[in-house]
Amino acid sequence: MNKFKLLSTFIGIFIMACSNQNNNPFYNEWNTPFQVPPFDQIEEAHYMPAFLEGLDKENKEIDKIINNTTSPTFENTIEAYEATGQFLTRVSSVFNNIRGTNANDNLDNIAKEFAPIRTKHNDDIILNKKLFEKIKYVYDNTDRGVLTTEQNTLLDKIYGDFVRNGANLTEEQKIELRKINEDLSVLTLTFGQNVRNDGNEWEVVLAEADLIGLTESVKSAAANIAEGRGHEGKWVITLDKPSWIPFLTYSERRDLREKVFTAYINRGNNNNEYDTKAIIPRIVNLRIKRANLLGYKNHAEYVLERSMAKTPENVYDFLYKLWKPALNRAKTEAYDLQSIIYKNGDNFKLKPWDWWYYAEKVRQEKYDLNDNELRPYFDVDNVRNGVFWLSNQLFGITFTERTDLPKYFDEVKTFEVKEADGSHIGILYTDYHPRKGKSTGAWCSGFRYQSNRNGNWIHPVTINVGNFTSPVGDKPALISFSEVETLFHEFGHALHSLLRNRTYTNQTMPRDFVEFPSQVMENWASEPEVLKHYALHYETGEPIPDELISKIQNASLHNQGFGTVEYLAASFLDMDWHTLEETEDWDPLEFEKALVKKIGLIPEIIPRYNSYYFNHIFSSVVGYSSGYYSYIWAAILDADAFQYFKNSGDLFNKEIAVKYRKYALGLSGTENAAETYRKFRGKDPEIEPLLVRKGLK
């Protein structure tokens, strides 16, 4: 859209907004229980006027700080700045969550139009010379001894935000930075939309002869998808994980396994309108230019400055420590899978699309465990109730379903979270199944975030999203144990959001700490004491038998080489892209070939994410560039922390849980992350529990 058309569009929007302002729910207080968003009143036409209103409000808030004639102080400058933009944040939180769960062309177009406007607005603030002078004055002249730890952390963060985003640049450099930021905002948004769109419509329609090897649950799910897509009497496999992974696990049709797998890993690489290969080098080169402009050698150095890892060198050292033992284990696993192929009288070499199928054969042979035995015990509602029960055991909190709250989609469920004494903590939305327009994967986000400015406690409104196996017919949604662990993981993020105890929302943890509260929850999922409370047979209500629990635990090391290697390979890919120091017209396909050769990745395994669909590092939504390693860095913390509970002899040790809630959840972001962990654990984390858990030692 050219600038004249864009301006005409916004003039029309402003006129419409002014004449119909009272009908836009974003302009009014929300008269809903707990002031959750009134989804039934919000229309697509409301977003852009509300966005523009939010920009105007924040500009006025900034002007008020700048025009204050009294000497800059922590209160009238730092706290005042931290509190700006709340209206815009409210609109953005609703819009971004709806676009992630119920996207359509209209919402995508709004996002594309607003992205460069929002970026310019942010740059106008961060590059405002008068505002920075006031912030710098407070930074240079405040007696740090009179501030609390949290206030000192906030002051350092805000001052650092300005410096790291160009406040000290010359005017000419600021112009260049603005252009880079604008281009990146559009490119990263487009990347994520392209990946989603390239996979949303893809399907393979199966006839009855194509179903060989599939379990009844997989066939039922495929028939359900087919009916929803207008293929009555057929079966359909899509690129949603609950569809393609079970298909690859059980289908005896090797040709179809290859077709499905290839379609999944080629999202963004189909030379069509959604292709991302040309976008990637543009994003990478712009990030190099921005890092250089800000005084850093590369993007990773810029990003990691605020992480627990601190430097790219530390990340690489860490990854390589895990790489060799993980690769050796993966090679052993590949040998086992190849042996089964030969044992079956076949002569072909194991390929990536064969791994799930033969890994399942090994699991059944070595551990006498298969997915069909487990799924009947993992009704998604029971699993969710199980993690509620676990939270009650640890922290005394309760979850009560509310049917009186507005929802953005029928399947969504809402819960009020309370303390043991009945006082309100927040609201949790759960949205667990795939649908058209919903981004893939699982995540936690929020419609409102906790803060306590000036004693005004704001209660969080949190959302857990998944793409778990859907219910079929009169059966509930019976999910895999891998999906169970994902549900526990995302719920850990939700607890982090719900149980924070901070003054300011601008207090955030580094990426390599953020995954700790989520990953530690996964540890409880396979513990017998916990399983007995949520793994109930969907027909009989009987708890999972001890025999199956033993099988789950015995198989805990199964396929760990594969899982660790594919993840580490993606982490290396992220770091290699973002430690580049010279711009070039990079070819993503050739770049990945060079990476595979460098790290010695075996051909039977590919990185968990190829570059052209690596949303974590190239999409604006996720924001893990130079940070995908964070999951396994945080795994050191989570394994060490869970060992703390185990060694106490009580999985629900109240004393440890109180410390965990206070420091790891409540005060996270209010001080240095390593210090936060030490206050909880009493010492620095050790890598030993992680190596043991993964069978790498």
Amino acid in position 599: I
Which residue out of 58, 333, 416, 490 is catalytically annotated? 490
Q: 196 near 440, Cβ under 8 Å?
A: yes
Pull the structure tokens for residue 343: 């044992």
* Contact criterion met (CB below 8 Å) for 398 and 392: yes
Burial class (CB in 10 A: 0-12, 13-18, 19+), 40: exposed
The secondary structure of 463-498, three-state, reads EEECCCCCCCCCCCCECCHHHHHHHHHHHHHHHHHH
- Among candidate residues 403, 409, 405, 448, the one with its CA nearest the CA of residue 426: 448
Q: 515, 526 in Cβ contact below 8 A? A: no
Q: Look up 490 and say whether it is catalytic.
A: yes
* Element (DSSP H or E) covering residue 77: none
The pair of three-digit structure tokens given for residue 662, joined into one six-digit string: 């206070």
Q: How many other β-carbons are positioned within 10 Å of the β-carbon of residue 7?
A: 11
Q: How far is CA 379 from the centre of its chain?
A: 23
Backbone angles phi, psi at 173, to 5 degrees: -65, -35
Say which DSSP state 240 is in.
S
> Tokens 């109240």, residue?
654
- E strand or H helix that includes residue 200: helix 171-200
CA distance 466 to 240: 11
> Are residues 13 and 49 in contact, defined by beta-carbon separation less than 8 angstroms?
yes
**Using an 8 Å Cβ cutoff, are 1 and 109 in contact?**
no
Q: Provide the residue count of the chain.
A: 697
Provide the annotated active-site residues. Answer: 490
